[in-house]
Structure 1
Amino acid sequence: MDVDSLAVQEFLMATISSPGIGSGLDVKSIVSQLVALEKQPLTKLQVQAATVSTRISAFGQIKSLISTLSDAAGTLSSLTTWNAVSTTSSNATAVSASAIGGTASNSFSAQVTVLAKAQSYASAALPLPTGTALGGGTVSIQLGKWTNPTTFAATAGVAAVDVTVLATDSVTEIASKINSASAGVSATVLNDAAGERLLLRSTSTGESFGFSLSVTDSDGVHDDATGLSRLVSGASTQYAANAAATINGSIPVTSATNTFTNVISGVTLTAKEVMTSAAEITVAQDQGVMTTAINKFVSAYNAVNQILEEATKYDPATKSAGLLQGDATAIGLQRALRGILQSSTTGSAYTRLADIGITQQLGGDLAVDNTKLTSALNSGDDVRNLFRIDNNNELTNGVARKFKTFSVGLLATDGFFSSKDASLKRSLDLNSKDQQRVNEKITRVEAQLNRRYSALDVQLSSLNALNAYITQQVTQWNKSTA
């Protein structure tokens, strides 16, 4: 073989049979790598979408905490909180007390002498086999008041209730009919060694809620010991009674129930036992309610401050930033909240929270000096005014009133959180559309690359075949020449 023939053969082998070229071309891998390059903008968009979604969640959490702060501020700006009172009784097992908000602080003695009772009635024993009929007729029940065992005055405007009794009715059936008649009494049947008894009891306590029972017997005799009249003959009655008590040792008071309402203005007494000596009742301002409300406000504020502090911080040492670092709206919200804390109130001896022991710490959280706060609460209405006074001026109103007004605005349907949420969701929607466009482009590019490289693979396969043929011809040519 001459030198020229050898050179052509080596050139063809090097050009056509280079590694990686020919029908063994990895089209899938090549296209995959090229498509990966096209997907880089998509990855960036996906990261941006995840960040926006996280911000939406963060602002949702802040909104929830602002709502809690709003509720706490509302409690502190409510007169109910500052009018709260507590009552104590030196003998709560015998007489307890409660008072409505705003009741003046005072103390007095109370002694229960009689408990309220409902009238009760028991027929004589009916020595008959259980379930035996008594006889027909009518049982009449009239509500009213007994002034003594023989004098009864019917309640004005209240008619007697008549219960028709059949000749076949048993005592149990009669009791059931009385209960169904809504006559102001309840009926039951007692079985003892002597026989059956019909028991009646007023459904209300007090002297004015007694009753009278009479019978119209179908046998024409209405008060003997036979027939239906056996329900009244030989019956026994315990009359109703009002509850009675003595206030301050000399003032008698009564009540149809065991509850005495407004005997002392705003105070309700509940009699439980007859007493041999008086109990001391004390009504005082309930500082526990006020302290609890203040502490809940402080906790609610701190929760908001902490989430904003964490979200907007930047750590220069680690060069790491919070999720909302640089977000103007989040920083503006944080500054606005702190601005309200630093503003002053007029109309109170205390102008700032620090005056009553609530101070701002490093990082913005509030801390409560309980000793100083208790002392301030003992000084009268000035703490109340610090929190809830209305000067018709958002700059000088009470602290709680300022926070309530501010938070209501933030939480309104057209307020800060609504606007921020809408803005972030618009951004997320635009991002989604951008991702869709990128995905569509990737699909087109991938299809184009597959077509091109598949065609190239076909062409290389043809070249491989040509390479094999030329190699064969060169070999034969060399042999012939030799």
Structure 2
Amino acid sequence: MATISSPGVGTSGLDVKSIISQLVALEKKPLDTLKLQAATVNTKISAYGQIKSLVSTLQDAASKLTSVTGWNGVNTTSSDSKYVSAGAVGGTLPTSFSVEVQSLAKAQATASAALLPVGGALGAGTLRLELGKWSVAPASFTPSSGQPVDITITATDKLSDVASKINGANAGVTASILTDASGERLLLRSKNTGAEAGFRLSVMEGGDTDIASAGNTDATGLSRLVAGSTVTQAGADAKATVNGIAVSSATNTFASTISGVTFKAEQVTTAPVEITVAKDDTAVQSNIDAFVKAYNAVNQLLQDATKYDAKTNSAGLLQGDSTAVALQNSLRNAIQSVTSGGGAFKRLADVGITQQLGGDLAVDSAKLSKALKESPEDLKNLFRNTGGGSADGIAVQLKALTTDLLSNKNTGFFKSKDDTLQLSLKRNVDDQARLLDKVDAYEKRITQRYNALDKQMSSLNGLNAYIAQQVTAWNKSGG
């Protein structure tokens, strides 16, 4: 640190800027502590965010073990999925059946007669699009219960304008234009497949609302879009047989033909395709493994965050944090709980899931597989029984606990902890702001004082030089 020289002959003034800078730095020293505290709080906020994420994963894993479908998993196979694919919901009874596909579902498609000149205006009028069903013999159209869609066409609209207006009308039909040597054609296609998803295009010109009148079908003006048009593909349902019984679907997916099973016609078959639904215990095994993995992830993070390493004399970020320890104990108590609703199984250890040193869970696969094979209902009840209180299954209890922990109410563990940390962070920011204000005021105050002192010393130096000159002159005159 620079020193202040005593004023006197030869003094060139004080280094005021350096002195003030060093004094201000001393005043700002507490800011380093505040910044370190803020960094620690932010790190804790991040840590609790990670813990919350892992607890949420644990809640999801517990939820799967409390779900009926999670315990009634099934495996669905097709002898040739290139022709017929299939799936089934959990709980579907084991079954098998054969499927033959005679035809796939089709969407109605039409093409207008060729129009010339290409790019020319068609004429004014109104296009009407109706959805419904066509009968073949005699050809007739039965509109569906929905309202028809009317589209206004102006005298200057070209075929491209018409197609654009149809596509923008949300009428259940898509439009495109085909151009070849004979002219341009309006192509229409139903958005949906099936016999009930057909459509009819009609024209009304000059205020005539009778779509069957001669003026609206005479192949002049806008009526050229309907006169001479052809159905290039009729709307049709998919047709198949299940064990020899005829079935149909508006789409290629048969969702309600066999209870719990959905199969899809991919191609017309050349031979029967066998669909088999069987119980799938691997889904239960997978859900239990996911549950154990999720619990261990939470436990390991809490273990690392709260431990003290005597060898390195280092403490985890949350070491001594009573709320983190309480969370760890709550989760362990839930895992170690005894349920009276599990039949032959009362605790996780009964089915080969044991707690190791440090709190992690380990799975004895052989013991768990035996329980799943020989006592599936007892195993299910161990996890998902809902008798209330001590009769609740382990997964039910853990799901209830994690739901409370993750609640967004003020009583929720993570919400409460985050609010506390955020408040601490806000106070720290306020403390830093107050300290900086105090330092600014201090800097202004001492700057004024040292500048005044520097001026005074400069004045004294000048007086000292004058007196020295006078003494010298006096000595000379006295000699």
Alignment TM class, shorter chain as reference? 0.5 to 0.7
TM-score by length of 1: 0.66
Q: Give the structure 2 partner of residue 331 of structure 1.
A: 325
Asked if structure 2 preserves the Cα contact closer than 8 Å seen for 1:121 and 1:236, the reply is: yes
Matched, 1:389 2:377: no
The one-letter amino acid paired with 2:299 is N
Asked if structure 2 preserves the Cα contact closer than 8 Å seen for 1:138 and 1:164, the reply is: yes
Q: Offset of 1:342 from its aligned partner?
A: 0.9
The partner residue of 1:74 within 60, 63, 68 is: 63
Q: Give the structure 2 partner of residue 13 of structure 1.
A: none
Q: Give the structure 2 partner of residue 477 of structure 1.
A: none
Structure 2 stretches lacking a partner, 5+ long: 203-210, 472-479
CA distance in 2, matches of 1:162, 1:37: 80
Q: How does 1:58-457 map to 2 (within 5 A)?
A: 58-120=47-109, 143-146=132-135, 149-155=136-142, 172=159, 176=163, 179=166, 201-210=189-198, 218=214, 231-232=227-228, 239-248=234-243, 250-285=244-279, 287=281, 289-348=283-342, 349-370=344-365, 372-378=367-373, 380-393=376-389, 395-412=390-407, 413-414=409-410, 415-423=412-420
CA distance in 2, matches of 1:427, 1:352: 41
Moved more, 132-141 or 353-362: 132-141
Q: CA 1:203–1:416 in 2, change beyond 3 Å: closer, same or farther?
A: closer
The one-letter amino acid paired with 1:206 is G
CA distance in 2, matches of 1:35, 1:381: 75
Counting matched residue pairs gives 441
Q: CA 1:145–1:292 in 2, change beyond 3 Å: closer, same or farther?
A: same
Asked if structure 2 preserves the Cα contact closer than 8 Å seen for 1:142 and 1:154, the reply is: no
Structure 1 stretches lacking a partner, 5+ long: 1-19, 473-482
CA distance in 2, matches of 1:96, 1:359: 41
Q: CA 1:442–1:78 in 2, change beyond 3 Å: closer, same or farther?
A: same
Q: CA 1:171–1:392 in 2, change beyond 3 Å: closer, same or farther?
A: same
CA distance in 2, matches of 1:256, 1:337: 51
The one-letter amino acid paired with 2:387 is N
The one-letter amino acid paired with 2:62 is A
Q: Offset of 1:358 from its aligned partner?
A: 3.1
Moved more, 84-93 or 38-47: 38-47
Q: CA 1:312–1:275 in 2, change beyond 3 Å: closer, same or farther?
A: same
CA offsets, 1:381-416, max 9 Å, x none? 4444333322221x4422222222222323333333
Q: CA 1:380–1:26 in 2, change beyond 3 Å: closer, same or farther?
A: same
CA distance in 2, matches of 1:419, 1:91: 56
Asked if structure 1 preserves the Cα contact closer than 8 Å seen for 2:318 and 2:324, the reply is: yes
Q: How does 1:8-87 map to 2 (within 5 A)?
A: 51=40, 54-87=43-76
Q: Offset of 1:264 from its aligned partner?
A: 0.3
Q: Offset of 1:263 from its aligned partner?
A: 0.6
The one-letter amino acid paired with 1:389 is N
Q: Offset of 1:277 from its aligned partner?
A: 1.1
- What SS does structure 2 have at the residue aligned with 1:329? helix
The one-letter amino acid paired with 2:388 is N
- What SS does structure 2 have at the residue aligned with 1:151? coil
CA offsets, 1:98-134, max 9 Å, x none? 33343333222111122223445567x7697767899
Asked if structure 1 preserves the Cα contact closer than 8 Å seen for 2:197 and 2:235, the reply is: yes
CA offsets, 1:114-156, max 9 Å, x none? 2223445567x7697767899999999894332xx53245426
The one-letter amino acid paired with 2:240 is A
CA distance in 2, matches of 1:444, 1:298: 60
State the percentage of identical aligned residues: 48
Cα RMSD over matched residues? 5.8
- What SS does structure 2 have at the residue aligned with 1:346? coil
Q: CA 1:138–1:231 in 2, change beyond 3 Å: closer, same or farther?
A: farther
Moved more, 178-187 or 364-373: 178-187
CA offsets, 1:313-341, max 9 Å, x none? 22333433333333333222222221111
TM-score by length of 2: 0.67
CA distance in 2, matches of 1:80, 1:40: 62
Asked if structure 2 preserves the Cα contact closer than 8 Å seen for 1:126 and 1:195, the reply is: yes
Asked if structure 2 preserves the Cα contact closer than 8 Å seen for 1:115 and 1:274, the reply is: yes
CA distance in 1, matches of 2:216, 2:40: 96
The one-letter amino acid paired with 2:383 is F
The one-letter amino acid paired with 2:77 is T
Q: Offset of 1:265 from its aligned partner?
A: 0.8
Asked if structure 1 preserves the Cα contact closer than 8 Å seen for 2:175 and 2:186, the reply is: yes
Q: CA 1:171–1:271 in 2, change beyond 3 Å: closer, same or farther?
A: farther
The one-letter amino acid paired with 1:365 is D
Q: CA 1:44–1:232 in 2, change beyond 3 Å: closer, same or farther?
A: closer
